[in-house]
Structure 1
Amino acid sequence: MSEWKDTEVGRIPASWKMGTLGEISSLLTDGSHSSPKISQSDNLMASVKDMRYNHFDFSDCKTISDDDFEKLVKGKCSPEYGDILLSKDGANCLDIIFVYKQSEKIVLLSSIAIARLEKGYNPDFYRYYLLSPQVQDLMKNNYVSGSAIPRVILKDFKNVPVPLIPLVTQNSIAEVLSSLDDKIDLLHRQNQTLELMAETLFRQWFVENSNPEWEERPLSSIATFLNGLACQKYLPQNDVDKLPVLKIKELRNGITEDCDWCTTEVDEKYIVENGDVIFSWSASLMVKIWDGETCILNQHLFKVTSDEFPKWYFYLWSKFHLDQFIAIARAHATTMGHIKRGDLDEAMVLTPSEDEINEMSAHFEPVIDKITVNNRQISKLVAFRDTLLPKLMSGEISIDTDE
């Protein structure tokens, strides 16, 4: 008898039985299909735009009234601890799947599906399984419809094939992958702390205790803000001489398997390396030290560099003016808010002497360097996890258990 068998999601051990997500779920639903009125309250209403790799970012989350909130909770539009949440429409359709483990009580809009598993099924294991390349390919090829706004019909989730393997095996696989994610999360949290330290010190020196003799200059004069390419005009000619395209989506969520690709035959100034400062000036405005793999800069993003000033200086000044830029972008009566180069000219910075800059660098550079080192370690861990994931989910690599 063969030790392997073929299924919809590829080759798996012959001993593994297959079922469906619907069969192992006690609840498979989605969020509200109506849009409650926004109200000033503590009642959070999340949509797919608030989802990140393994959590919700509530910083821009909408709030609703007590009555609407309670109605949606009763309508099972609220996730419980341990539910699997899946992005079911929009630009990130199926890209983001995580197990809800946050303390906040929230309700969801219909762009998010909720799978509550029966006892005996580890949600962390099945979350990783749903993120594995073979299952992602199956779902995107068979379930996703719509070109302008990709979406999955809720009932299709019930048909997703899943392995029915012993709980002890589920737990062991989930533990291995979770340990890698925990290390990645720790490094991200360290970076958040480092960012806060740098921003606090920056504000103390340049806002609270600034020197009135320091020269005032436009932000645009202290660095080069290089706009990216229209990468669709630079398609790769083969499968070797190519790099992923860095768009706003990738800047926020990282490079994924379904990203666009660009030929490497472009001016090297458009190549983005881990540690470069990237400024999204359209749609979702943000300033970020890139923490991913080598890629090509797309339009609507600036790569920020300077031959005159250190990285920390132009990075923190760009972040300092970010809230102002976001307000300007929102004021534009367009479908996609943005800022113009003229806004960079009007954003002013303070310029200490060269000696003072050098003294400050002794405090800031170790922080920025540590962030970059952490980012590179994150990239290595992510690559290892993404290599290991499909091998574990297909049974190519097995984990010894006591059972």
Structure 2
Amino acid sequence: MTSWTTAYLEDCLDALLDYRGKSPKKAPTGIPVLSAKVVKTDGLLRPIEQTIAPDYYKEWMVRGLPAVSDVVMTTEAPLGEVIQLDDESATYALGQRIVCMRGKEGVLDSTYLRYALVSPQQQANLAASATGTTVLGISQKALRRIEISFPDFAEQRRIGGLLAKVDDKIELNRRMNETLEEMARALFRDWFVDFGPTRRQMEGAPDPAAIMGHAFPASRAAELAPLFPAKLGEDGLPEEWVSRALGDTVTVKRGGSPRPIKDFIRPSGIPWVKIADATRCNGPNLFVTREFIKEEGLKKTVELQPGSLILSNSATPGLPKFLRLRACIHDGWLYFPDTGGLSNEFLYLAFLHFKEAIVSQATGSVFNNLKTDVLKRQKFVFPPDQVLAVFDGVVGPLFEKILANEQENQTLAEMRDLLLPKLMSGEIRLKDAEECAE
């Protein structure tokens, strides 16, 4: 077996960029800022809302510039989330509660460092060197003196390359899902917000393909175009379409929480969905939770089955997710026991599109809370059932592919997480891990 070396982290780095101490000046648009809010080991949380002005970048980034393959780690709230920079994210600015590290050539491979830092052993080392009562944080001095174990440089590159190959496939699936979801959102906007097919007829579109915005093959467009009225009514809607409050069609209810909740939380049991579980998800589907509730708490909460649609109403209001597990939701979630014939996919897209309008009505001194009545009063445009059925037939396969990609990502992540600690400890040979990955 390859011999392993243990050394202090600072002796293995060519660069450690630390911009803690103050925050960069924000701008409405510009260069995205990496911070502990968006850096997650599962992938950057997008969209990144904090930005700085391009002409301020050089003024701010005076301690050194990040490079492709550098490793970024959160140092507080939370501690130990890790990503590796690519061509895009390496151009971002560095913000609060993170550090950026670059392995020393020939000593510590940066990709190996990325995976070493998220291994259980290294996460335990970070926690042991951290301080804080409410949240754990690690100083630069303590981080530099963290010990790290590694094999020879060539072996590091092979280990890092194998694990990165798995993560590259996960990232490819994630990007594909972003494209698929944007396709569904664009179709929702065109049909139910902009009334594109009707407006294009009014503007003299010459054929069904043009009426449907050239989004479908000619034969399919010929089937779809006749479903859309040729003009708008006096109310500004396509003829025979109506606008009504969501609550007139959909039953909206709130989850529930047994009190005090800490007495009902357990290491295992029925999954307990927290807002944090949802904000960690890059996609529309929620597969896992970090906490569980015991059976005695079921009478005072709401248990939902896989496939249910939920919408957050506190902390981060207006966030829709499809549950892919049997789970309980607290009173920070809304759910929809009767959708009045509307598909969950239609509602999901509607909530995303009208999120800003819905959330703007949330109130609260500590957290924004979206009251059930506010959502019930939100107006939506409803076409004839035939149009809704056709829409579901178009976007349904898109969401099915998104789900399949996310399920594959779950399997890939589980395999990676199984191999990672064994590779980082030298417990299994690289050849065996490669065969497992294949």
For the superposition of Structure 1 and Structure 2, which TM-score range results when normalised by the shorter chain? 0.7 to 0.9
Whether 1:325 and 2:313 are equivalent positions in the alignment is: no
Kept in 1: contact 2:150–2:156 (CA 8 A): no
State the shift of 1:303 in Å: 3.8
CA distance in 2, matches of 1:175, 1:304: 45
State the shift of 1:154 in Å: 1.8
> Which amino acid counterpart does residue 323 of structure 1 have in structure 2?
E
User: Of the candidates 328, 332, 336, which is equivalent to residue 367 of structure 2?
Assistant: 336
Change (3 A) 1:271 1:153: farther
Kept in 2: contact 1:228–1:270 (CA 8 A): yes
User: Of the candidates 312, 331, 348, which is equivalent to residue 315 of structure 1?
Assistant: 348
User: Of the candidates 394, 409, 430, which is equivalent to residue 363 of structure 1?
Assistant: 394
State the shift of 1:265 in Å: 5.1
CA distance in 2, matches of 1:273, 1:84: 39
> Which amino acid counterpart does residue 320 of structure 1 have in structure 2?
H
Match of 1:74 in 2: 62
Match of 2:88 in 1: 103
Change (3 A) 1:237 1:155: closer
Kept in 2: contact 1:227–1:301 (CA 8 A): yes
CA distance in 1, matches of 2:414, 2:179: 24
User: Of the candidates 214, 221, 238, which is equivalent to residue 211 of structure 1?
Assistant: 238
| More deviation, 160-169/253-262 | 253-262
Three-state SS of the structure 1 residue aligned to 2:360 is helix
Change (3 A) 1:361 1:14: closer
Whether 1:242 and 2:230 are equivalent positions in the alignment is: no
Bigger relative contact order, structure 1 or 2 (CA pairs below 8 A, ≥6 apart): 1
Three-state SS of the structure 1 residue aligned to 2:37 is helix
Kept in 1: contact 2:32–2:48 (CA 8 A): no
- Of structures 1 and 2, the larger Rg is shown by 2
User: Of the candidates 21, 31, 35, which is equivalent to residue 23 of structure 2?
Assistant: 35
User: Of the candidates 21, 26, 29, which is equivalent to residue 9 of structure 2?
Assistant: 21
State the shift of 1:111 in Å: 0.6
Change (3 A) 1:287 1:155: same
User: Of the candidates 244, 258, 261, which is equivalent to residue 233 of structure 1?
Assistant: 261
For structure 2, which runs of at least 5 residues remain unmatched after alignment? 196-236, 433-438
Change (3 A) 1:73 1:311: same
Kept in 2: contact 1:234–1:263 (CA 8 A): no
Change (3 A) 1:352 1:300: same
Match of 1:61 in 2: 50
State the shift of 1:251 in Å: 0.9
State the shift of 1:112 in Å: 0.6
| More deviation, 158-167/208-217 | 208-217
Change (3 A) 1:44 1:373: closer
State the shift of 1:334 in Å: 2.7
CA distance in 1, matches of 2:328, 2:397: 27
Aligned length: 382
Whether 1:251 and 2:240 are equivalent positions in the alignment is: no
Kept in 2: contact 1:219–1:318 (CA 8 A): no
Three-state SS of the structure 1 residue aligned to 2:430 is coil
TM-score normalised by L of structure 1: 0.83
Whether 1:182 and 2:168 are equivalent positions in the alignment is: yes
Whether 1:263 and 2:250 are equivalent positions in the alignment is: no
Change (3 A) 1:320 1:154: same
Change (3 A) 1:173 1:305: farther
State the shift of 1:277 in Å: 2.7
Match of 1:8 in 2: none
CA distance in 2, matches of 1:197, 1:301: 27
> Which amino acid counterpart does residue 283 of structure 1 have in structure 2?
A
Change (3 A) 1:291 1:114: farther
Three-state SS of the structure 2 residue aligned to 1:82 is coil
Three-state SS of the structure 2 residue aligned to 1:213 is coil
Change (3 A) 1:69 1:357: closer
TM-score normalised by L of structure 2: 0.77
Kept in 1: contact 2:15–2:102 (CA 8 A): yes
| 1:159-178, Cα deviation, whole Å (9 max, x unpaired) | 22211311221122112211
Change (3 A) 1:218 1:257: closer
| 1:371-395, Cα deviation, whole Å (9 max, x unpaired) | 2222222222222222221122122
Three-state SS of the structure 2 residue aligned to 1:48 is coil
> Which amino acid counterpart does residue 100 of structure 1 have in structure 2?
L
| 1:351-381, Cα deviation, whole Å (9 max, x unpaired) | 2333332232221222222222222222222
State the shift of 1:125 in Å: 1.2
CA distance in 2, matches of 1:360, 1:43: 37
CA distance in 2, matches of 1:101, 1:354: 46
For structure 1, which runs of at least 5 residues remain unmatched after alignment? 1-12
| 1:259-296, Cα deviation, whole Å (9 max, x unpaired) | 33322555498456665433222233453444776544
Identity percentage of aligned residues:
22
| 1:308-356, Cα deviation, whole Å (9 max, x unpaired) | 3222221111112112234334xx4634223222320231112233333
Change (3 A) 1:181 1:262: same
Match of 1:385 in 2: 416
CA distance in 2, matches of 1:335, 1:64: 30
> Which amino acid counterpart does residue 138 of structure 1 have in structure 2?
N
CA distance in 2, matches of 1:205, 1:169: 54
State the shift of 1:186 in Å: 1.5
Higher strand proportion: 1
Three-state SS of the structure 2 residue aligned to 1:70 is helix
Change (3 A) 1:228 1:381: farther
Match of 1:300 in 2: 332
